[in-house]
A = this chain, B = another copy of it.
């Protein structure tokens, strides 16, 4: 994360966004109508500063994980309209002059600067995630793509972090959302950003390949019901794990174990005949993956069929030196079933003297979310791994984050956007922002200042003011000061700027930052808001500008 020395990256070409559909046309038409109007008014090159930020943390929480920066920079670095795209834009702006096409043809981001908080950071409302500076004509064309690339990325990363928080560090969290996601890259980007937010693996093969995320997956109910009986299994041979011996009839070996389990003293009468199509499916799966046997046990009846069938196959594998992985539950009362399953495994371990059998992995899937995991925790359960799909990847609890992109300065003139709703008033000026840490190492407050104010100093008392609420202010003596906005783009890939780290490093940053937050900001119920402030000087200026721009009402 150290800035590269000047020129160090001169032969680096930044590759394009993951999705080739991310082009300058992934844009609202009004960005082009405005570009045309700026150009007509000869304003297109006026130097402008825009802040990208959100106003409210999602999911009723008090924190957000910032994600999507990498894709924004890749988009920026490759920003160029093709002739075909330019023709389409021209045809979409009736009455536009041909010379505007020349302007579009020449557009790139060589005169744009992007400062941003590093991706994977924990971030808060109102503090700019990105500060984008450059000619107003081109910067305006970055608004929609940047918002699109940041909004969902940050939302789903935050959702993942929240799921991790409730599940706890020791559980495996698997993202299983591809089928229910909002379209193809709703799936692929959810996989990417859930991993960033602290998940361990995904089922999504494309995302695994693109981003190096560990993959997980075994089989479905259809696989189980595609078998009729064990008679279908033709090749019954299985070599032992060490290759030394060969079992000629693995099916019979399994059946022998099934009978043994059935007559174990503590399991007598627990189950009678198990489902034969299920047994055949488990055996076939074990023959295909003897080293990685994990079975879905709820196609017919978990305790009377799935678990006994699984144990029989696992014990047969054990005879040949293989260690089965465990089971997956995809329906029913997961607290009850996981606990019963664990008991069953422990009975097998104890009565058949198979060390470790009780520790078999129990994976649960079936419409899980923050609330259901929290409820499972309260009831007590024996789940080791959660496979989470729909609610995670679509951010069902809150399907959108409201990042905005606001003009804060043009031609060195600070600009403010007013609104009757005070939470929608923008904070004007090209700004810097800092995170101030307290004695215990936790972040205490974020503060925004004007660009030319001196930075806060360690050990020096500083007044932090709420940007809009006169009475909310506090003195802080920071023990550490971190400047939040770092340079990620200054005209080209050659210039001195932060590197774009690999996804794994961004994930590490995210996990570390989340761990370093004071716990009252993180809890699910009534979390304490993290404080976001402005300097006294910026406060005064905001309110000066506000009064200046707002019309005086007249009561009638």
Instruction: Give the shortest distance, in Å, between A95 (CB) and chain B (any CB).
Output: 5
The reply to whether A184 and B144 form a contact with Cβ atoms under 8 Å apart is: no
Interface check A410, CB cutoff 8 A: yes
By the criterion CB–CB under 8 Å, are B26 and A94 in contact?
Answer: no
Chain A residues in contact with chain B, CB under 8 A? 17-23, 25-34, 36-38, 40-43, 46, 48, 50, 85, 88-89, 92-95, 136, 140, 143-144, 147-149, 151-153, 156, 176, 178-190, 203-206, 208-209, 215-223, 225-226, 228, 232-235, 272-273, 275, 284-285, 287-292, 299-301, 304-305, 331-332, 390, 394-396, 398-403, 405-407, 410-411, 413, 415-421, 424, 549-551, 553
Set B185, B205, B220, B415: member contacting A89, Cβ < 8 A: B205
Whether B206 lies near A23 (C-beta < 8 A) is: yes
Q: A299-B418, A301-B551, A419-B331 are in contact. Are A25 and B209 (CB under 8 A)?
A: yes
Query: Would you list the 3 A-B pairs with minimal beta carbon distance, nearest first?
Result: A29-B217, A30-B217, A147-B179
Q: Are A219 and B402 in contact (CB under 8 A)?
A: no
CB distance from A69 to the nearest CB of B (A): 15
Nearest chain B CB to A305 CB, angstrom units: 6
A148 to chain B, nearest CB (A): 6
Known: A234-B42, A289-B33, A420-B332. A152 touches B28 (CB 8 A): no
With A32-B205, A151-B181 given, can you name 15 additional A-B contacts, CB distance below 8 Å? A27-B178, A34-B219, A34-B220, A38-B223, A43-B232, A92-B215, A95-B292, A180-B401, A182-B189, A272-B551, A273-B551, A299-B418, A300-B418, A305-B551, A390-B400
CB distance from A438 to the nearest CB of B (A): 35
**B184 adjacent to A22 (CB under 8 Å):** yes
The smallest beta-carbon distance between A314 and chain B, in angstroms, is: 16
Known: A178-B144, A180-B402, A406-B222. A288 touches B37 (CB 8 A): yes
CB <8 Å contact, B183 and A186: yes
> Closest CB of chain B to A425's CB: distance in Å?
11
Please, which residues of chain B bring their CB within 8 A of the CB of A415? Answer: 225-226
Report whether B37 and A223 are in contact in the complex, using a CB–CB cutoff of 8 Å: yes
Residues of chain B within 8 A (CB-CB) of A553 are 304
Distance in angstroms from A312 CB to nearest chain B CB is: 16
B219 near A184: Cβ-Cβ < 8 Å: no
Contact between B179 and A217 (Cβ–Cβ < 8 Å)?
Answer: no
Instruction: Give the chain B neighbours of A187 by CB distance below 8 A.
Output: 26, 148
Q: Which residue of chain B has its CB nearest to the CB of A153?
A: B183
Closest Cβ–Cβ distance, residue A173 to chain B (whole Å)? 16
